[in-house]
């Protein structure tokens, strides 16, 4: 049952986003009071006593909060696109192999011990692990896509199966590299797989921003096509959608955006699955509202989760991926139970 | 200006799905396609929509069906498949609104058309209900309304066509009759209709042309009175029947 008018939900989310972002900027092991916050914003950089606050705000917290928002947005919107494309409300961007490919790529780089790319100007601040993850994720999707595509188009069923196979293969690679890794590498691999935003810096923010801009510039134009695709591919064709073109674009776009997200923040579970679900339950499956709605909600949720992760055990930090999974799994069970109850009731 | 099939044939893994099919669906006529299960009725429909690539040519208004841009073709040809995969909680009126997707007629007019299409298939009361909670017959009627909305208005640039795959399969008696009435009204408006049916009498009552298929071939086609004889029905369905005349319409009446 629908509970909200789509426009009302957009309004609520937009109004929520701003205080959530500001609160996230203020909270942390070293709290910044609202008064200090305003002073730092208005100050031109002259006051020595604000130097520490300025440093924390601009160099540590702002990139981190922005990165959380952008990654949350990308994951949630890509989940929406995948669920629409696969006509499966349980689909998730990781289904097509992006996440597992990326984590295999990251493990390879961690174990091979390639250093950081500080010497290359524009890539400064990005570790080789980030790059490895992006390449790994993209390769996995490319392979899945090629396997599922024949002259007759891309088979969604084969793509799902190929995605599962690639996930298994990448998992094996992961285990292999974990096996040969030493203790320090092992810890880095496992931390990376938990998904965490603690390595946030401005270069990572720019990468995530680029992916987000591409995603949000192209995807909303296909929202009507996604609605038609929910009817089935041949019906969508009868309604004038160039199905193969749309599929290709959405898959590439998702691979790019999820690949970038995973590369900068590790594998953060469940945002891509639960956010589209929640928003769809509230306003229905129309993608012209679903895409902006999940974008805002994904950003808000990950910012909140990351803030809790920073504050809960301060000065230690929980990986945000643990929190999203801990929140996500019970909700997922609830959805499954509810679906079963509905099916029982209709028998 | 016709939807026409020229020498269609289709072989899949050594099995003949379609062979030597020649067929024309003219604007303002109803063509009923009959035949046993697996005779190739749905394959024929999918070949006519360009969805199946076959040997031979399908032309829509003298242009090869494959050369039509998807968006243009959708404005003049609507297709209702036998089953729908839709499993997302759109409301019934949102489903029907999808039928307006190919057109740029504006939101106000689209809403009016959706309302009229829903009321035409006797679904006004379902407009705001969730599609996933409807019964099989109700779902089928909502999709019927969707394809009606897709070709609701006459086109300045050409004729309209509607292809229906067993639309009445899950309809009760009243709604079967409703479907026949709607299809007849479309014929009056100049729409070319192709309809796959299992009920020989329903076909006899509404069709101008009956195509009787067997094993991928057109066994016989023509006016209902010429096609539906005791002999052809026995040949194609292996069922003995008697053919009488319908007391009101004088069309053939098949008595099993």
Per-residue pLDDT of B37-92, as tens digits, reads: 989 999 999 999 988 888 999 999 889 998 999 888 999 999 999 888 888 889 99
pLDDT band at A191 (very low <50, low <70, confident <90, very high): confident
Query: Which chain A residues are closer than 8 Å to B144 by Cβ?
Result: none
Based on DSSP, count helices (H) and strands (E) in chain B, helices before strands. 9, 12
* 3-state SS class at A91: coil
Query: Which chain B residues are closer than 8 Å to A237 by Cβ?
Result: 49, 51, 70
Cβ-defined contact of A240 to B71 (cutoff 8 Å): yes
Cβ-defined contact of B90 to A241 (cutoff 8 Å): no
CA distance A225 to chain B (A): 9
Q: Residue B27: name the closest of B156, B187, B157, B149 by CA.
A: B187
A220 touches chain B (CB under 8 A): no
For residue A315, pLDDT over 70 is answered with: yes
Distance separating alpha carbons of residues A119 and A102, to the nearest angstrom? 24
Write down the pTM of the prediction: 0.87
Average pLDDT over residues A116-122: 46
Peptide bond between residue A5 and the one before it cis (omega within 30 degrees of 0): no
CA distance A203 to chain B (A): 39
Distance separating alpha carbons of residues A216 and A209, to the nearest angstrom? 10
Buried-exposed string B85-109: b where 16+ CB fall within 10 A, e elsewhere: ebebbbbbbbbbbbbbbbbeeeeee
Distances in Å between the Cα of B57 and the Cα atoms of A147, A157, A320, B7 are 31, 30, 58, 7
Condensed to tens digits (0 to 9), the pLDDT of residues B165-198 reads 999 888 999 999 999 999 999 999 999 999 999 9
Q: Residue A239: name the closest of B82, B74, B215 by CA.
A: B74
* E-state strands within A137-289: 149-150, 153-154
Condensed to tens digits (0 to 9), the pLDDT of residues B100-159 reads 999 988 899 999 999 999 999 999 999 999 998 899 999 999 999 999 999 999 887 789
A280 touches chain B (CB under 8 A): yes
Query: Which chain A residues are closer than 8 Å to B46 by Cβ?
Result: 234
Q: Residue A10: name the closest of A302, A292, A303 by CA.
A: A292
Distance separating alpha carbons of residues A224 and A288, to the nearest angstrom? 7
pLDDT at position A46? 65
% chain A with pLDDT above 90 = 27
Distance separating alpha carbons of residues A25 and B137, to the nearest angstrom? 55
Q: Which two tokens stand for residue B168?
A: 């009445």
CA distance B90 to chain A (A): 6
Distance separating alpha carbons of residues B213 and B216, to the nearest angstrom? 7
Our CA angle for B3, B142, B110, nearest 5°, is: 75
A244 touches chain B (CB under 8 A): no
pLDDT at position A323? 84
pLDDT at position B185? 94
Buried-exposed string A145-180: b where 16+ CB fall within 10 A, e elsewhere: bebbbeeeebebeebbebbeebbebbeebbeebbee
Average pLDDT over residues A259-285: 86
Query: Which chain B residues are closer than 8 Å to A345 by Cβ?
Result: none
Query: Which chain A residues are closer than 8 Å to B67 by Cβ?
Result: none
Chain B contact probe: residue of A85, A153, A231, A278 with most B CBs at under 10 A: A231
pLDDT band at A227 (very low <50, low <70, confident <90, very high): very high
CA A333 to centroid of chain Cα atoms: 21
For residue B13, pLDDT over 90 is answered with: no
Of B87, B90, B98, the CB nearest to A87: B87
Query: Among A194-208, B106-120, B139-153, B203-217, which stretch is predicted with the lowest mean pLDDT?
Result: A194-208
Of A152, A240, A286, the CB nearest to B74: A240
Cβ-defined contact of A239 to B98 (cutoff 8 Å): yes
Size of interface A-B (CB pairs under 8 A): 73
Query: Which chain B residues are closer than 8 Å to A232 by Cβ?
Result: 81, 84-86
Distance separating alpha carbons of residues A187 and A185, to the nearest angstrom? 5
A231 touches chain B (CB under 8 A): yes
Query: Which chain B residues are closer than 8 Å to A80 by Cβ?
Result: none
């Amino acid at each position: 049952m629908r509970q909200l008018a789509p426009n009302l939900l957009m309004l609520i989310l937009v109004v929520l986003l701003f205080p959530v972002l500001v609160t996230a900027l203020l909270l942390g092991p070293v709290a910044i009071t609202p008064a200090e916050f305003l002073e730092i914003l208005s100050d031109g950089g002259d006051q020595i006593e604000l130097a520490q606050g300025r440093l924390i705000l601009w160099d540590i917290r702002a990139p981190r909060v922005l990165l959380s928002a952008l990654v949350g947005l990308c994951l949630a919107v890509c989940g929406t696109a995948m669920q629409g494309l696969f006509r499966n409300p349980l689909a998730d961007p990781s289904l097509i192999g992006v996440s597992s490919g990326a984590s295999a790529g990251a493990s390879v780089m961690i174990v091979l011990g390639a250093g950081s790319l500080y010497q290359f100007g524009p890539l400064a601040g990005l570790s080789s692990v980030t790059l490895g993850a992006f390449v790994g994720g993209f390769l996995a999707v490319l392979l899945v896509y090629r396997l599922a595509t024949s002259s007759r188009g891309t088979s969604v069923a084969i793509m799902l199966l190929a995605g599962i196979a690639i996930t298994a293969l990448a998992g094996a690679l992961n285990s292999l590299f974990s096996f040969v890794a030493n203790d320090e590498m092992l810890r880095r691999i496992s931390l990376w797989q938990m998904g965490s935003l603690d390595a946030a810096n401005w270069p990572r923010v720019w990468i995530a921003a680029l992916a987000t801009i591409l995603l949000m510039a192209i995807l909303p134009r296909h929202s009507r096509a996604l609605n038609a695709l929910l009817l089935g591919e041949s019906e969508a064709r009868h309604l004038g959608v160039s199905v193969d073109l749309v599929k290709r674009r959405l898959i590439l776009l998702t691979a790019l955006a999820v690949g970038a997200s995973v590369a900068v923040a590790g594998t953060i579970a469940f945002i891509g699955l639960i956010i589209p679900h929640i928003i769809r339950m509230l306003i229905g499956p129309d993608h012209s509202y679903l895409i902006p709605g999940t974008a805002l909600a994904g950003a808000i949720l990950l910012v909140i989760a990351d803030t809790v992760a920073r504050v809960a055990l301060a000065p230690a930090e929980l990986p945000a991926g643990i929190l999203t999974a801990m929140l996500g799994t019970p909700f997922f069970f609830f959805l499954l139970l509810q679906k079963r109850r509905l099916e029982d009731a209709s028998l | 200006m016709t939807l026409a099939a020229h020498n269609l044939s289709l072989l899949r893994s050594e099995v003949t799905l379609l062979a030597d099919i020649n067929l024309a669906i003219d604007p303002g006529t109803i063509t009923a396609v009959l035949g046993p299960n697996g005779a190739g009725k749905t394959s024929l429909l999918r070949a006519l929509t360009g969805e199946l690539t076959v040997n031979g040519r399908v032309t829509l208004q003298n242009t090869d069906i494959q050369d039509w841009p998807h968006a243009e073709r959708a404005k003049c040809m609507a297709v209702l498949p036998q089953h729908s995969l839709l499993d997302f909680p759109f409301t019934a009126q949102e489903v029907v609104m999808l039928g307006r997707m190919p057109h740029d007629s504006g939101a106000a007019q689209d809403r009016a058309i959706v309302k009229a299409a829903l009321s035409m298939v006797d679904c006004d009361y379902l407009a705001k209900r969730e599609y996933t909670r409807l019964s099989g017959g109700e779902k089928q009627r909502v999709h019927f309304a969707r394809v009606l909305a897709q070709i609701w208005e006459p086109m300045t640039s050409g004729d309209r066509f509607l292809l229906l795959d067993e639309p009445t399969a899950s309809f009760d008696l009243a709604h079967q009759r409703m479907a026949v009435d709607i299809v007849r009204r479309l014929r009056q408006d100049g729409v070319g209709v192709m309809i796959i049916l299992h009920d020989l009498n329903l076909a006899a009552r509404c069709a101008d042309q009956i195509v009787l298929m067997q094993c991928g071939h057109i066994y016989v086609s023509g006016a209902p009175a010429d096609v539906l004889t005791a002999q052809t029905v026995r040949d194609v369905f292996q069922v003995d029947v008697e053919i009488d005349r319908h007391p009101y319409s004088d069309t053939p009446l098949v008595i099993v």
